[in-house]
Amino acid sequence: MANIMVVGSYVVDLMSRTPHMPKPGETVLGGPFQMGPGGKGSNQAVAAARQGANVTMVTKVGHDLFGDHAMENFTEESIDTTYVTRHTKEATGTAIITVDDQGENTIVVALGACGKITSTDVQGAEQRLEASDMVLVQLETSMDAIRTTIQLARKHNKPVILNPAPFQQIDDDLLQDIAYITPNETEASLLTGIEVVDESSARKAAKQLIERGVHAVVITLGKQGCFVYDGSDEGTLVKGFPVQAVDTTGAGDAFNGGLATFIAKGMKLDKAVIRANAVAAISVTKTGTAIAMPTMADVEEFLRNTK
């Protein structure tokens, strides 16, 4: 079984449907409302666990009702909570999400407790990190915690997948220790200064990231698929799966959790990306984030039916 450590956020998703996104000052009658577990770190952990990985989560939640729900959710998903701590002052993080009739979304995140993950918290999980096959991080927590995670992974020669979202600037000294980076078009553009809109511009951005030290680049291009590049050739555009999207929230998290699992299981990158695309495609056909993550059986059935 693949052993994956996820260092990142947990927030409660507070989601409402809306016929259209409100303009400044506008009130829109929407609904229904849905509450559920979320946060990029937690979503990716759930996605990995449902694809058969043995997942350890490093995060913080508050001493509140939402924090209780977080612990219950991790247990239900068979995610190891040894390194999930309860902050004594900060509340559990929240994400205010609106989803329109086209399935597009806007999100406002208040990190709360998970924004207070420290280097010490990560160092406390070093022994478990050493036993992991893959380390998965995002940018939805403190940069100190992210830096420490990457440094410990380097110390123990463990591959890191960095999902650079929500975007923060990354120092090149950290990029040199990243095995796989998975930006979307916007994040790739911000990372490189190259406007990424298609395969050609994605190739230029990926080449720059390789030159800066990243070992392999996977740029997600929405409906176009993913551009995969490791510096050995001109790269490959791996097409996605056409589906009727209901809610695109969490699609990137579904992709990253799946990708981490498939690579940790020994799958080659291009094959892992295809399966990760399937995980993401299934997730957008359902409402919600963590609750929309598919199981292994879901992915197998989906792939059989799309051949």
DSSP single-letter state for residue 94:
E
CB within 8 Å of 248: residues ≥ 6 apart? 103, 104, 105, 284
Name the nearest CA neighbour of 226 among 190, 191, 259: 259
Known binding-site residues for substrate equal 11-13, 39-43, 140, 253
C-alpha distance from residue 36 to each of 56, 66, 188, 253, 259 (Å):
20, 10, 29, 15, 23
**Is 253 annotated in the active site?**
yes
Token pair in block for residue 6: 């996820």
- Annotated binding-site positions: 11-13, 39-43, 140, 184, 220-225, 247, 249, 252-253, 277, 283, 286, 288
Token digits for 100?
């329109």
The catalytic position among 230, 253, 270, 298 is 253
Radius of gyration of the chain (CA): 18
Closest CA to 170 of 137, 196, 135, 200: 137
Strand order in the sheet with 105-110: 33-38, 11-17, 93-99, 105-110
Annotated binding site for K(+): 247, 249, 283, 286, 288
**Cβ atoms of residues 163 and 137 within 8 Å:** yes
Distance CA 247, CA 106 (A): 11
> What residues are annotated to the active site?
253
